[in-house]
Structure 1
Amino acid sequence: MGDIIDFFLGNPFLIIILIGIVSSMLGRKKQSQQSDAPNGPPKKKWQDVMRELQGEGQGNQQQGPAPAPVRKVEQQAPQAAEIIDETKNEANQRIAELRRLQQKYDQERLYQKAKADNIASAISDNRSPVYRKGPSFGKKQLIDGIIMSEVLGPPRAKRSLQRSRK
Structure 2
Amino acid sequence: MDLLFENPFIIVVLIGIISSLFNRMKSSAEEPKRQPVRPVQNRPAQAQSTTMEEKIERPYVHREEKSVMVTDTPLNEIQEKYAEKKKAAEERLKQLEQQKAVTEKRAARMNSQVTRVVHKQSSRSERLSPNKEKLVDAVVWSEILGPPRAKRPFRGRVK
TM-score, normalized by length of structure 2?
Answer: 0.43
Q: Decide which structure has greater helix share.
A: 2
Higher alpha-carbon Rg: 2
TM-score, normalized by length of structure 1?
Answer: 0.41
